[in-house]
Amino acid sequence: MTGTSDSDGMQEKKDSPMDVDFPNKEPESDYQPEPDEIYRSDLLAVRPVPNAGLGLFATAPIPAGTRLIRESPLLTLSDMADLPDLYAKVIALSPSRRSHFWSLAAYRRRHDEVDWIPAIRSTYGEDCDDFDALCDKVLHAWLIYETNRFTVRSEGGARDQMGLFPLAARLNHSCRPNVFHRHNHLIGRLTIHALRDIEAGEEVCTSYIDVVHPMRERRRILRHWGFKCACGECRHPGAAGEHRRKRLEEMTAKMRKEEQRRAMMNWDRWDYARSLGVLEEMVALMGEEGLDESDTLGEVVGLGAEYAMNVGWWDMAKEWAQRACEIEERCLGRDGSEWLEARERLAEAEKGPAVPE
């Protein structure tokens, strides 16, 4: 992850509160994927991106739904891990994989915590000629990890680990992405799928964040990666689009709150019908904003199908369940739990109401 959003977008360091380093070129690496992994080298190439290190570019037309990458992690860490835990995993890597780890981009930012230093001293200090240099290296490893990590989901969907995926780490950010990434816990791999048709020569970008937010909030969240987003969406925000995204942000928060409420109490048909109205508005706003090629929409229409079944609107339930299947297949593939759940929901909607015996 090297932080650009558009191949001709400039990242403005002066607007970031962090001390950020923007490398023009990252070190070379001979990293190769494992035999059971997928990297569509016939469709992708790593190329320099102005002011943003390296990025992935399409070398030929890519149809929507194409799986471009299926990758296992270089290493994983729990949410509770600290700098010494990471460094121990880095030095345990094979020489070639360790070399690739050090080749990944790292944005320098302040790290004021020092409670990890005694652990490093007790483990490595006695055999170290230059302890300060060792601490710098440990901190650099942590910055690489923070810059490039992806969520790793365990069975059941728990998100209690993070992982480094060297091929996927070449993906830059866009607030209107053309690919979608997610860790598929059923196959133990991070997958990258084309959200729409991608033209040859186009940069392949994912989104590091939920893009339903307005520009100011997106840029605030993206400070974690040390850059000010300069994609076309952020360079030329329209008032109508900003209003839609603000409304989507509000509706998404409302949807999450309603789901929490549903988990704690029994809903009746009126509750489902009322909440279905929220989802219908979200779907309409996403369509107007051009966000109808996203997994977020898959989640919304999947819930909509479930709500419609509980209201008894079976035609609507089938329509939304079918759409959810199509979205999840395009974003995640048929070996993902989301698609399997969407397919079960569609089968239930097609079956219709239970007939009393």
3-state SS of the chain is CCCCCCCCCCCCHHHCCCCCCCCCCCCCCCCCCCCCCEECCCCEEEEECCCCCEEEEECCCECCCCEEEEECCCEEEECCCCHHHHHHHHHCCCHHHHHHHHHCCCCCCCCCCCCCHHHHHHHHHHHCCCHHHHHHHHHHHHHHHHHHEEEECCCCCCCCEEEECCCHHHCEECCCCCEEEEEECCCCEEEEEECCCECCCCEEEECCCCCCCCHHHHHHHHHHHCCCCCCHHHHCCCHHHHHHHHHHHHHHHHHHHHHHHHHHCCCCHHHHHHHHHHHHHHHHHHHHHCCCCCHHHHHHHHHHHHHHHHHCCHHHHHHHHHHHHHHHHHHHCCCCHHHHHHHHHHHHHHHCCCCCC
pLDDT computed for residue 109 by the predictor = 64
pLDDT computed for residue 19 by the predictor = 29
Q: Are strands 172-173 and 203-206 parallel, antiparallel or unpaired?
A: parallel
Q: Is 256 exposed, middle or buried (0-12, 13-18, 19+ CB in 10 A)?
A: exposed
pLDDT digits (tens, 9 = 90+) for 46-68: 999 887 788 999 999 999 999 99
234 within 8 A of 5, measured Cβ to Cβ: yes
CA distance 327 to 340: 12
Domains and CATH numbers, the chain: 38-212 (2.170.270.10), 238-350 (1.25.40.10)
Sheet order of strands, 172-173 included: 44-48, 54-58, 203-206, 172-173
pLDDT computed for residue 31 by the predictor = 57
pLDDT computed for residue 293 by the predictor = 66
CA distance 110 to 243: 34
Residues 6 or more apart in contact with residue 80 via CB below 8 angstroms: none
161 within 8 A of 77, measured Cβ to Cβ: yes
pLDDT computed for residue 214 by the predictor = 87
* Per-residue model confidence as pLDDT tens for the chain (357 residues): 655 444 333 333 322 222 223 233 344 455 565 666 778 889 999 999 887 788 999 999 999 999 999 999 999 999 888 899 999 999 999 999 999 899 998 876 666 667 788 888 888 876 777 888 888 899 999 999 988 999 998 776 667 799 999 999 999 999 889 999 999 999 999 999 999 999 999 999 999 888 888 888 888 888 878 788 888 888 888 888 889 989 998 999 999 999 999 988 889 999 999 999 999 999 999 888 888 666 688 889 999 999 999 999 999 999 999 999 999 999 999 999 999 999 999 999 999 887 655
Residues 6 or more apart in contact with residue 166 via CB below 8 angstroms: 29, 31, 71, 74, 100, 101, 104
pLDDT computed for residue 23 by the predictor = 34
